[in-house]
Structure 1
């Protein structure tokens, strides 16, 4: 092998200059890489639960959040703050008093346990959003209808503790008045009346629509719009809304089939992982995943969620955040003010 001395051009002086140039070029390259990394946004993951009623699943979800560092959004149906004895206090547009598509709390003790979970979740940095009250399809409701539904939600939340025979914790009144900033429509069923009412009531965001894939939120109107994405799933990679109920219907036609729970869990986890990796290695648009406070197909979807959260939310440049936090990070005027 030839030595440096065999090459007249490789004198010590020239070698020093070459090495210095190479080092400077390397430093510049590293700096450029760091700069590009610094400019790259974190990958946001937004995980939400509709209904927020089953107290056992409250325990499970809060433990999941504590272990992983994730923060969740809970879209609450307000009839779960009312015992059956108080059901006549609620009247949905076009319905008789005391009717709810999702029922009511069994009794005051159950409602109080739920209220404790709501308060613990909020204090830990999770978000409570509105899912209306009785889970009716409001696509044809007017603005006035929706404002009436919002009024009943607000009253149920503000008076929940006293209506169930207990004293509200300090800070609850302020939370009930100012803490609810987002909404998701039952059945993801929207209409002009809903959007007009959301803007009139000053909601920061709505999370009721669906998009062809992950998209950035639309901030063009006073109430921002987040859309649950369609993601590829299953052997044929057919698109499906990234929500547990939709997976349940696809996998087993909406019929409980616990014997295939492991298969459905793996399919769900594969779909979540793939959808995440596309964004994480690409445009880094927020990935939204929706769930209900109901375990389906033997817990397949909650099991997949737990595995996904624990392997994903601690990764570098990933933040599993609430919708309100996503608004703060992504809305142009909010970003410039922070």
Structure 2
């Protein structure tokens, strides 16, 4: 990790590794506070004014989380593709770590999502809700008690993270997990963890979200407005390592997807060990013959050799290159096989924040195109599960950049069944 301190730039849960230029594709309260209408004047017994009052949230455990009803701002139940229908172009923006550290990036992208009717997935690191004063509550597998390669947030930043995670869910975004300590190297690396280690890590990540109130003592702070046991259906491992031993645990826990594969192709996904496998993807890298992983850090690694503060005269060209890489990857799918497009990010300001600018520009450029749906991973797997398996199998048969033979209408037309003729009889 040349150029990045373990407690500095790495603290936001970055993906580690280079793109194809190297060896592999790898990545590194009150009712109104709960989103409920406040009680107001003009209410008379037996004659309620306005819409009926929403039920009060049901606190869970110590009140760190609460059941507040169905998540707002969700699409309707997904429909299966009609015969010969062109698939939508799904684009999923996701954020590793999802901690707010005072740079305003979390609210910046929440606002962008509102402006463009987009939903995203925030892979929250459990440690970002655990005060450093309580770090000995964390027992990372194969590492010392309290250890963390991403450090801990200040109390002020924990409060900010709580605020924006709360807001994100109420605005329709998904809260997944980026686990906890982000160990990528040495014997304690997540790549060496057993299924039992992963189970422990997941249980601790959930516990830090579900008991932040007890751990912080902030009993007047609003509850997170969701049941995390029900909300958590997928995650992304640190550095995209360890998926093989994670998946059996994910399946047992009822997770529906995992986004930890160390580099995939722009093709329609399949399940792995019973769980939807949704990898970050290799995409064209302008000016090079190789492809780069669809993650901000991997583009950085190929531009500045892992330095997060390279000479600023490079920034304009690198910003344009990063933006064009995302847009070229999008167009390749949009104009051919319509494979879903996955982009991974971190709330960081590496190299002057150019990667945040590239992601914002990409979202703006694709949001209004026909058939494009900017969704969370949860919403995407809801759609996948509503489709005819035979149709998904045909979609998976399309290679990277391959248009459907004969066009979508012909390609997704059901196979004609040949009439069976009984032996010894002639068809009339």
Q: Same fold (TM over 0.5)?
A: yes
Alignment equivalent of 1:94, drawn from 129, 133, 142 = 142
Choose which of 160, 167, 170 in structure 2 pairs with 1:113.
160
Q: Which residue in the other structure is 2:219 paired with? A: 166
Which residue matches 2:119? Answer: 71
Aligned partners of 1:294, 1:266: CA distance in 2, in Å?
Answer: 18
Equivalent pair of 1:216/1:226 in contact (CA under 8 Å): no
Could you tell me which runs of 5 or more consecutive residues in structure 2 were left unpaired when the two chains were aligned. 1-80, 184-188, 391-428
Aligned: 1:123 with 2:177: no
Structure 1 position 192, deviation (Å): 3.1
Asked if the contact 2:319–2:354 (Cα under 8 Å) also holds between the matched residues in 1, the reply is: yes
Pairing partner for 2:316 from 247, 262, 267: 262
Q: Which residue of 2 aligns with 1:319?
A: 373
Larger Cα Rg: Structure 1 or Structure 2? 1
**What is aligned with 1:5?**
none
- 1:83 to partner: Cα distance: 1.2
The question of whether the paired residues in 2 share the 8 Å contact of 1:219 and 1:331 is answered with: no
Q: 1:296 maps to which residue?
A: 350
CA contact (8 A) 2:243 2:261 kept: no
Rate the CA distance shift 1:191–1:211 in 2: closer, same or farther, 3 A: closer
Whether 2:251 is the aligned partner of 1:199: answer: yes
**Ranges in structure 1 where 5+ consecutive residues have no aligned partner:** 1-34
Per-residue CA shift, 1:196-247, capped at 9, x if unaligned? 2111222111001144521222135422111111011021242111111011
Deviation at 1:252, TM superposition (A): 0.7
Query: Alpha-carbon deviation of 1:191?
Result: 4.3
Select which of 323, 331, 334 maps to 2:385: 331
Alignment map for 1:178-217 (pairs within 5 Å): 178-217=230-269
Structure 1 vs Structure 2 CA RMSD: 2.2
3-state SS in 2 of match to 1:231: strand
Alpha-carbon contact 1:69-1:314 (below 8 Å) kept:
no
SS at match of 2:122: strand
**Higher share in helix:** 1
Q: Shift in Å at residue 170 of structure 1?
A: 5.7
* Counterpart in the other structure of 2:193: 141
* TM-score (structure 1 length as normaliser): 0.83
Whether 1:253 aligns to 2:301 is no
Given that 2:100 and 2:157 are in contact with CA atoms closer than 8 Å, whether structure 1 keeps it comes out as: no
Show the counterpart of 1:83: 131
Within 2, Cα distance between the matches of 1:333 and 1:288? 20
Q: Classify the secondary structure of the residue corresponding to 1:129.
A: strand
Say which structure, 1 or 2, has more relative contact order (CA 8 Å, 6+ apart).
2
Q: Is the 8 A contact 1:93 1:149 kept in 2?
A: yes
- Point out the structure with the larger strand share: 1
**Equivalent-residue separation in structure 2 for 1:58 and 1:332 (angstroms):** 31
Q: How many angstroms apart in 2 are the aligned matches of 1:271 and 1:37?
A: 33
- Compute the displacement of 1:318 (Å): 0.2
Hey, what does 2:105 align to over in structure 1? Answer: 57
| Residue of structure 1 equivalent to 2:362 | 308
> What's the CA shift for 1:68?
1.7
Kept after mapping to 1: 8 A contact 2:166/2:224: no
State how many pairs are aligned. 300
Query: How far apart are residue 88 of structure 1 and its match?
Result: 1.0
Task: Measure, in 2, the Cα distance between the counterparts of 1:43 and 1:261.
Answer: 30
Would the alpha carbon gap of residues 189 and 112 (structure 1) be closer, same or farther in structure 2, given more than 3 Å must change? same
2:278 counterpart (201, 212, 226): 226
